[in-house]
Amino acid sequence: MPVVNSLAREVVFKIVYYGPGLGGKTTSLQHIHATTKPEHRGKMVSLATPVDRTLYFDFLPIRVPNLKDLSVRLQLFTVPGQVYYNATRKLVLTGADGVVLVADSQRARAEANLESLKNLHENLEEQGRRLDETPHILQYNKRDLPDLISIEELDQRLNPHSAPSFASVATNGEGVYEALEGITRAVLEDFEQRMPEHRDLILGQFTVPEGGLAEALRQVEIDIGSTPAQPIRPLDLSPAAPLGQFPIISEPPSQIGEQAARLIAETGARPAVGTAGIESWDTPRGFSLSHQWPHADREIVRSAEDSLARCDWVGAVTECGKLVERTLSAVAHACGEPGLSQSLAVCCMLLGVDGRKYLEFQRILSTVRESCLPSEHEALQAFMFALSVRQARATLSNE
């Protein structure tokens, strides 16, 4: 869902580059970042491993030049190529306004392309969406290599909805900006149709400058192949942290639940029979985990703990939802990217928290929003997740 700031006349769109591993998603973003004018680009974030250059995602905020007083900002993401990291794919895809399916044109990668397309359909369906209703384009990459599938055959296999398609060579930038312009047009047209209350922001105002979006964004041509990539510095979440620094996470925080359980056991917290014969947590006077959070959040923590003690599972989950949202919003603010507050799943990944646990937490929250009663286990699970997110943030900011 796009983020609209009517006062600033700014619309922020999230665009996800999807496709098989090593197909050119990251290389496309690297070219855009390297050749875009400094005033139109933000910091590029890349979380990588030796196995696949993008384990989680690349995040590249680009501000499209003001067109008739309208500011359009694009947040570009990529998903991991390996199916093993499907939970991360789902998180990155959440809230996407547009999708660029980057296919590898080599014949040997035909099955990988089909697998990625099928996976995209499945993950969209889990979110109640369909590809034919989602703005998308196809970028057929690696057109400079031998033994290629023809564009016509690729369209036949991968493009049943006749979306715009572009041939590209991401290593030298050929077709990369054209694909970016294509998806930008697609999300803007979709925005006009779906959000009529904001049509005055867009309608008739997005006119691509002479020479196209590529020329508006691009600076003097450079050979990015001769420019070594700069390593990503670790994230500093202290108040004075420079903008755009993000962490390279090797292992997500773990064993949080077990540590908390041991802490409860050591301090004497024990199940007790409450009113109506229902088991409740008899928490010793003075025991609380609220000290793990900043002062501004401690009342919410105590409210969650009180709800657990009263067997009020709905109240506990609701308060935990507030804690997680506040913690992740603080991460977005510290990173200098306010738009990230609309993509809390991404903030969660920046902290290195297991994406599967985030999805499970969201499922528990949905249970409460749908007026269903969560179980005791789900309420405790929600509290443990809120604690794990808080500890991950504290670890990175040395609090």
pLDDT of 227 strictly over 50 = no
pLDDT of 224 strictly over 50 = no
pLDDT of 60 strictly over 50 = yes
Q: Where are the alpha helices (DSSP H) in 40-175?
A: 86-93, 110-126, 151-158
Instruction: Give the helix/strand (H/E) hosting 355.
Output: helix 355-369
Position 342 scores a pLDDT of 65
From 43, 92, 91, 93, select the one nearest 63 (Cα to Cα).
Answer: 43
Average pLDDT score over residue span 330-337 = 76
* Residue 266 burial class via C-beta count within 10 angstroms: exposed 0-12, middle 13-18, buried 19 and up: exposed
pTM of the model: 0.64
Q: pLDDT for 154-208, tens place per residue?
A: 999 999 999 999 999 999 999 999 999 999 999 988 988 877 655 555 544 555 5
Average pLDDT score over residue span 298-303 = 92
* Residue 151 vs residue 83, higher pLDDT: 151
Asked if residue 102 lies in contact with residue 24, where contact means CB atoms within 8 angstroms, the answer is: yes
CA 132 – CA 99 distance, rounded (Å): 11
Q: How far apart are the first and last CA of the chain?
A: 33
**Model confidence at 250, in pLDDT bands (50, 70, 90)?**
very low
CA 373 – CA 371 distance, rounded (Å): 7
Average pLDDT score over residue span 118-123 = 96
Half-sphere exposure of 246 (CA within 13 A, CB side): 28
pLDDT of 69 strictly over 70 = no
Q: Where are the alpha helices (DSSP H) in 44-196?
A: 86-93, 110-126, 151-158, 176-194
Three-state SS letters, 203-255: CCCCCCCCCHHHHHHECCCCCHHHCCCCCCCCCCCCCCCCCCCCCCCCCCCCC
Q: Could you give the domains of the chain?
A: 3-218 (3.40.50.300), 256-396 (no CATH)
Integer-rounded Cα Rg, in Å, for the chain is: 23
Asked if residue 336 lies in contact with residue 399, where contact means CB atoms within 8 angstroms, the answer is: no
Question: Over the chain, what is the mean pLDDT?
Answer: 77
CA 292 – CA 391 distance, rounded (Å): 7
Position 218 scores a pLDDT of 72
Q: pLDDT for 305-331, tens place per residue?
A: 988 988 889 999 999 999 999 998 888
